[in-house]
Every structure is written in structure tokens, then in C-alpha cells.
Amino acid sequence: MPGLIGKKIGMTSVFSEEGKNIPCTILEVGPCTVTQIKTEKADGYNAVQIGFEVQKDHRMTKALKGHFTKANSPMLKKLVEFSSFDEVKLGDTLTTELFEEGDFVEVVGTSKGKGFQGVVKRHGFKGVNDATHGQHNRQRHPGSIGAASYPARVFKGMRMGGQMGNARVKIENLRVVKVLADRNLILVNGAVPGANNSYITIEK
């Protein structure tokens, strides 16, 4: 799907004409430059690589400098590949024009990292609801994780504590509430994964 790279700015709310208060996320989207067109013949698959956010020249490696110069594009911070763009050329600039008010989009971001979390926070386990009746140190424990000598092991995929957040998350069917093309901003209905100022990709 064709898409663009952007940044999460923050959340606000907007009133619709019927007087409904719509929670919105402000996204800075584009302008993106096409930096490489991958073809089945040369790369084994079809894709379009686009870049976002200008970087100072001296912060680039020589290899990347060459890559951008070849595409006739400025030095860029973030590169992402998308499939099925129709008719783009190397060095083209893509802006918010791709999206219209009322469109439904998918937004991919990196969720906020929560660190190593127990099962109550991570998987919504209930824990033990009593502090008394024989419980003294297991209020937030998972309970049993399996049977005894048969199967004599813990099944794969058993939900336990571990790293939570800081993972790629996609949110589907977010409605585009407003497009402020002059400032490269898009408002979508609802929340978007990640912290403010983090990179996101928005797909049609």
C-alpha cells in the first residue's frame, strides 16, 4: 500500500458540525522524497523507498551520501519502503496530497516502552484479589502455569512476565479528520502508538 513517513506531534480534540467532540492525533506527514525504486529484476521484489526529514550533510556516512545523491534527493534521516505506489520517479516529492478528509488509514508506530512487566500489567491477569485467607506474597502472581507429570513441561506461548511496549504496533481504520496541506499536518481520529515526536508511517 502507498504511504508516507511522519511524526507524531500530539493529541487534541476537534468539534464536528453536529457538536461531537472528536479526539484527534496530530501527525506531521511528509514531505517525503523517493530515494530508490526497487524492481523485481534488480532486487527480487517491487517496492519504493522513501525518506523523511532533512539531515545535515556532515552527519551522513559516505555510503548514504552516495545513495541520496544518486536519487537527487536531500540528505534524509528516516528511510522506509512501501509497496504498490503507482507511477513515482526517483527524486519525486510526496506530500499529504495522498490523503483526503474521510479516508481510512493505517498508522504504524513504536509503542512506548514499559520495561519488564509482570502478568497483571502485561496480560491483564487478575492476580489474587485477597490479601488475607492464606495469601501473603502472591497478590500479582500468575498462578498455575500447567499440569504435573503429564505433560511435565510448560506449553510454548504461555503468557508470563517480560518486556512490554517498545514494539511495532499498527492501528487500522483511523479516519482522517483534517488535512492541513500547507503545514504538512494530518489529523486522524483516535490515538496512535508511540510517544510524541516519534516516527510513524501512515498508509492508505
Partner 1 sequence: MNLTEQISKELNQTSELPKFGSGDTITVSYKIIEGEKERIQDFKGVVIQRRGVGATETFTIRKISSSIGVERIFPLNSPLIANITVNKKGKVRRARIFYLRNLTGKSARIKERR
Which residues bind to partner 1, rule: CB under 8 A?
9-15, 17-19, 21, 26, 178, 180, 185, 187, 196
CA 36, CA 71: separation in Å to the nearest integer?
7
Q: Of 68, 84, 66, whose CA–CA distance to 76 is shortest?
A: 68
Q: Which value, to the nearest 10 degrees, does the dihedral of the CA atoms of residues 112, 113, 119, 120 take? A: -50
Q: Could you please report the per-residue DSSP string of 104-154?
A: EEEEEEEPPP-EEE-HHHHH-------SSTT-SS-TT-----S-STTT-SP
CB of 194 to partner 1, least distance (A): 15
Residues in the chain: 204
Q: Of 164, 169, 188, whose CA–CA distance to 177 is shortest?
A: 188
CB of 22 to partner 1, least distance (A): 10
Closer residue to partner 1, CB minimum distance, 49 or 184: 184
Closer residue to partner 1, CB minimum distance, 75 or 109: 109
Closer residue to partner 1, CB minimum distance, 10 or 162: 10
CA 10, CA 196: separation in Å to the nearest integer?
6
Closer residue to partner 1, CB minimum distance, 140 or 178: 178
Closer residue to partner 1, CB minimum distance, 1 or 180: 180
CB of 38 to partner 1, least distance (A): 34
| Amino acid residing at 22 | I
CB of 28 to partner 1, least distance (A): 8
Q: Could you please report the per-residue DSSP string of 53-105?
A: EE--GGGS-HHHHHHHHHTT---EEEEEEES--SS--TT-EE-GGG--TT-EE
CB of 29 to partner 1, least distance (A): 14
Closer residue to partner 1, CB minimum distance, 12 or 135: 12
CB of 182 to partner 1, least distance (A): 12
